[in-house]
Amino acid sequence: MLGRFLMSEPKSAGEGFLMSHDDHEATLKALQVELVSSQLWTLESGRKILVVFEGRDAAGKDGVIRRITEHLSVRATRVTALPKPSDRERSQWFFQRYAAHLPAAGEWVIFNRSWYNRAGVERVMEFSTPVEQTQFLDEAPVFERMLVEAGVTLLKYWLDISKPEQARRLERRRSDPLKRLKVSPLDAVAQEKWEAYSAARDDMLKRTHTAIAPWWCVRADHKGEARLNVIRHLLHAVAAPELSPTVARPDPKILFPFELEALTDGRLAR
């Protein structure tokens, strides 16, 4: 029964989200069953899974992470969202505080924002210097190559939304009393500095997309289809041998590997 939901694919972003709520929930449940099976295999095999989620404010990182981790082992799954660095941490090698949170054998670690803060908000808000930003873009691919060569399965997702959709989400966030903890002073300038964030995103993707640690771009204006496609991709990337053959591949119109053409052909928001 669950197999038909695993095979059913969300409609493309341009076609509108046509899956019914009931079908969406059934598909999500079927994929979450596969996530549990994949984590069981990870625990048995000792694989180390590291997932990085980046994107503009209100791009949907929290939501997709909740759907991934909802039924996973609390002991073997960690979601890391680091606060701004202390004075001591600012004096360390930049990647040092992130390295402390890397997965051990059998663990899944998910970064809700990561070292890529330096290429995004720190650049736009001038929290770091141009020299530090350039150094980061040079070092990040080296750091990630070291992780992969040490046996870490590294997945990097960029959740991309349009400017009007970001405006709608930020307004809902401000007006919803249950989302007050998600409101940040940086929200106020997200729209004002849209072009600056776009330029930072473009440079980051161009400089840190590599064969060994590629970026996967997700068109996330439709939260539901973005979440399903990320989970589908994650399941295939982890490649547990028990993965059901009925798990469909993600829709390439929604989730695709970064390439330069995506910056100009409409796939990534300007």
Looking at the domain assignment, is residue 15 inside a domain? no
Whether the pLDDT of residue 239 is over 80: the answer is yes
Looking at the domain assignment, is residue 100 inside a domain? yes
Mean pLDDT of the chain, nearest integer: 93
Looking at the domain assignment, is residue 71 inside a domain? no
Task: Read off the pLDDT of residues 197-225 as tens digits, 9 standing for 90 and up.
Answer: 999 999 999 999 999 999 999 999 999 99
| Phi and psi torsions of 110, nearest 5° | -120, 120
Q: What domain range is 110 assigned to? A: 2-9+33-54+92-263
Whether the pLDDT of residue 15 is over 60: the answer is no
| Side-chain half-sphere exposure of 239, counting CA atoms within 13 A | 6
d(CA 241, CA 227): 23
Looking at the domain assignment, is residue 16 inside a domain? no
CATH number at residue 181: 3.40.50.300
Looking at the domain assignment, is residue 72 inside a domain? no
Looking at the domain assignment, is residue 257 inside a domain? yes
pTM over 0.75: yes
Domains: count for the chain: 1
d(CA 232, CA 219): 14
Task: Read off the pLDDT of residues 42-66 as tens digits, 9 standing for 90 and up.
Answer: 999 999 999 999 999 999 999 999 9
* The one-letter amino acid at 91: S
d(CA 264, CA 270): 8
d(CA 31, CA 233): 11
d(CA 26, CA 30): 6
Looking at the domain assignment, is residue 77 inside a domain? no
Whether the pLDDT of residue 91 is over 50: the answer is yes
Looking at the domain assignment, is residue 190 inside a domain? yes
d(CA 7, CA 13): 18
| Phi and psi torsions of 165, nearest 5° | -70, -40
Q: In this predicted structure, what is the pLDDT of residue 11?
A: 46
Q: Tell me if 49 sits within 8 A of 79, measured CB to CB.
A: no
Residue 188 or 64, more confident = 64
Task: Read off the pLDDT of residues 133-159 as tens digits, 9 standing for 90 and up.
Answer: 999 999 999 999 999 999 999 999 999
